Amino acid sequence: MRAPSTYAVIMAGGAGTRFWPASRRARPKQLLPLAGAEPLIRQAVERVVSITGWERIYVSTGAHLVEPTLAVLPELSRDRLLVEPVARNTAACLGWAAATIARVDPNAVIMALPADPHIKNVAAFQQTLRLALRSAESGIITTVGITPTHPETGYGYIEAGDASRLDGVLQVLRFVEKPDRARAEQFLATGRYYWNSGMFFFRAADLLRAIESHLPALATGLRELDDAARRDGEAEALGRVFPTLPAVSIDHGVMEHVKELAVVPGDFGWSDIGSWLAASELGHKDERGNSAPAATVLLDAHDNYVVDLRAQSPEPGAQPGAPQGGAGERHRKRVIALVGVSGLVVVQTDDALLVLHRDHAQGVKRVVDELAARGDAELT
Amino acid sequence: MRAPSTYAVIMAGGAGTRFWPASRRARPKQLLPLAGAEPLIRQAVERVVSITGWERIYVSTGAHLVEPTLAVLPELSRDRLLVEPVARNTAACLGWAAATIARVDPNAVIMALPADPHIKNVAAFQQTLRLALRSAESGIITTVGITPTHPETGYGYIEAGDASRLDGVLQVLRFVEKPDRARAEQFLATGRYYWNSGMFFFRAADLLRAIESHLPALATGLRELDDAARRDGEAEALGRVFPTLPAVSIDHGVMEHVKELAVVPGDFGWSDIGSWLAASELGHKDERGNSAPAATVLLDAHDNYVVDLRAQSPEPGAQPGAPQGGAGERHRKRVIALVGVSGLVVVQTDDALLVLHRDHAQGVKRVVDELAARGDAELT
């Protein structure tokens, strides 16, 4: 028997106000180069393309993000985008993806991965993916649990039980909501708890069956969409049916109710980059703890994080093709200078500047709220 | 006998790196709205125009500053600009101004004022000017000394002696260089010392006579310029003669050697705005000590000073005359947000951003030095 084909579904629907002013409604976190030179979604795709090839990568996103997503993934065929007319959380997202892929390949094995985590050790990550896929191929829905490094209270946890038949794979006992500090410390002490990474691995048919059992309303909607797609009527059906689907996470709606579930513990330098503080801790820093574009002037400055996302602007008066233009237009020089400051996050875009102390990373959401309250929606 | 006419010479040649990135070679301090909505030079002119009228105001500046200076002083006739081909310090500046004005009005009384101090109490300042002018009209070169409020080590001092014949005017005993802290405290304790404001009041003929006595080389050059001007050959002579004039301050070169000199003590909220720190202490602050454009978002932020000098940019895609354009083009909204920071100076221009802690205001010069060392002269 030929091995079933592997597909990736990259979940890239996130809105995200935590990275204002870099993140906007039309430019959420996954489109930003928050750790490394490439946007997070491109890094996510490049991590799996050696396993699936481009033709078996699907990207799930919102209608307003189609063009910016294709712009950073020019290799992706437009029909590999799963464009949700409205966001209905991850159960609907992955159910629709599974149904869509099953239509072209009933034996498909799918890895569903968030577009926006940062992963330091890509080789170790890919090894974990391969193991999780093998587990999924055996008919058991599988997740990846991150080996915790500290008693984090911002993540959900997965409690693992006995080993499964596959070496390196454990049975899932239960999913646990974000704990308080004391419980998180207990979790860490047992050695049995893992961070819920939001990655899921399954045969398309297995997930659809689990949805049938645990979210029958979603299953009904997905069948309606599938029937319409087989009659070339998917576009119309999406706008009509998708908004009626239950908006529930795959974790709550399905995974917590599935009897036999597996978890592959992973340790590959994972971060969900939940705030500017988390972003500032990734990537290269100089010997004074600063992370900033090379041209930044840093005097008596340490532990700062500078992001410059301004579009290149042509130099005023520069003539395209003028002698000094060289290969193209000359660009006007710009500079950021930090003097006598520390612990700052400085984010410069074309229409906004954020100067934030890293201890106040949670305050970003309040900036977005204030701009919205003012009626400055164009800045959010 | 008719009272002699009063002229003002506004000295506006300063280069100034202390206000980078607001100040540039082509936009020195006096062209910036550092305290109030108007550029400092415009404030300086508006303070004296009620005394002299526009036609008797001269502005001394450099060739590269002609257009930006006229742009903020559109009422000024171009022939009232004294354009120095190279800067040769204040003795040459004021000597040339006195010779030029004396040619059209041999009885002229001149007040020579720096373009860039901030003055809080304009009425008191004007009263002081009128008294200093009366003193100068009597044939005694006169200066204004600022009643010191603290033992400042960044200014020169004037030691005053006995009262002169004119009420409120004192004799000058001597000029003193910037003192150290201990001497500054002694100065303050005596009550006899004043800050040297760099303002001078004189009959044109008196200053030219003093230059003749104490700076004969300058006097020779000025005579050559004057002769050329009487033959309509000033432009040519300026380029040839001006660079050869001795580059010395009017204080050192002339005033310290003049026997009879008067000082009018003044107390009108004077600041020379020597740094971003000084600028941040002027002007309106909110109840948390922040001074920032109205649109700034300030969360958990106090004692910050925000300056936004970006040019208004039209909204991308905005059509002039389109319905929503109203009276003109719509402008793209922009915002600056400060979260959890205090004591910062944040200056945003089109091509640079400075984030500076106020305790490091002296570090600005080092930024300019570093940019120059990199070859980024266009940013300085």
- B339–A346: do the CB atoms touch at under 8 Å? no
Would you state the pLDDT for residue B202? 98
Would you state the pLDDT for residue A175? 95
Task: Give the H or E element holding residue A336.
Answer: strand A335-339
Asked whether the ipTM of the predicted complex exceeds the cut of 0.85, the reply is no
pLDDT tens digit at each of 380 positions of chain B: 567 899 999 999 876 678 999 988 888 999 998 887 899 999 999 999 999 999 999 999 999 999 999 999 999 999 999 999 999 999 999 999 999 999 999 999 999 999 999 999 999 999 999 999 999 999 999 999 999 999 999 899 999 999 988 999 999 999 999 999 999 999 999 999 999 999 999 999 999 999 999 999 999 999 999 999 999 999 999 999 999 999 999 999 999 999 999 999 999 999 988 889 888 888 789 999 999 998 899 999 999 999 998 886 544 444 433 333 333 445 678 899 999 999 999 999 999 999 999 999 889 999 999 999 998 888 88
- B340–A356: do the CB atoms touch at under 8 Å? yes
**What's the gap in Å between the CA of B39 and the closest CA on chain A?**
24
**What's the gap in Å between the CA of A338 and the closest CA on chain B?**
5
CATH code 3.90.550.10 region(s) in chain A: 6-271
For the B6-271 domain, the top CATH level (class) is alpha beta
Does A317 have pLDDT greater than 50? no
Supply angle C-alpha A36, A39, A45, rounded to 5.
105
Question: d(Cα A13, Cα A205) in Å, to the nearest integer?
Answer: 23
Tens of pLDDT, residue by residue over A34-93, are 887 899 999 999 999 999 999 999 999 999 999 999 999 999 999 999 999 999 999 999
- A351–B335: do the CB atoms touch at under 8 Å? yes
Quick one: CA torsion of A372, A374, A375, A378, rounded to 10 degrees?
-60
Query: With b meaning 16 or more CB within 10 Å and e meaning fewer, what string describes B349-374?
Result: bebbbbbbbbebbebbebbbebbeee
Chain A residues in contact with B378 by the CB 8 A cut-off are 333
Contact criterion met (CB below 8 Å) for A3 and A52: no
Would you state the pLDDT for residue B313? 55
Query: In the structure encoding, which two tokens stand for residue A274, read together?
Result: 């939940």
Residue of chain A minimizing CA distance to B297: A367
Average pLDDT of the residues of chain A: 91
- B379–A340: do the CB atoms touch at under 8 Å? no
Query: In the structure encoding, which two tokens stand for residue A292, read together?
Result: 């900033």
Size of interface A-B (CB pairs under 8 A): 122
**What's the gap in Å between the CA of A41 and the closest CA on chain B?**
27
- B378–A334: do the CB atoms touch at under 8 Å? no
Contact criterion met (CB below 8 Å) for A265 and A145: yes
| pTM (predicted TM-score) | 0.81
Chain B residues in contact with A353 by the CB 8 A cut-off are 335-337, 346, 348, 353
Tens of pLDDT, residue by residue over A94-149, are 999 999 999 999 999 999 999 999 999 999 999 999 999 999 999 999 999 999 99
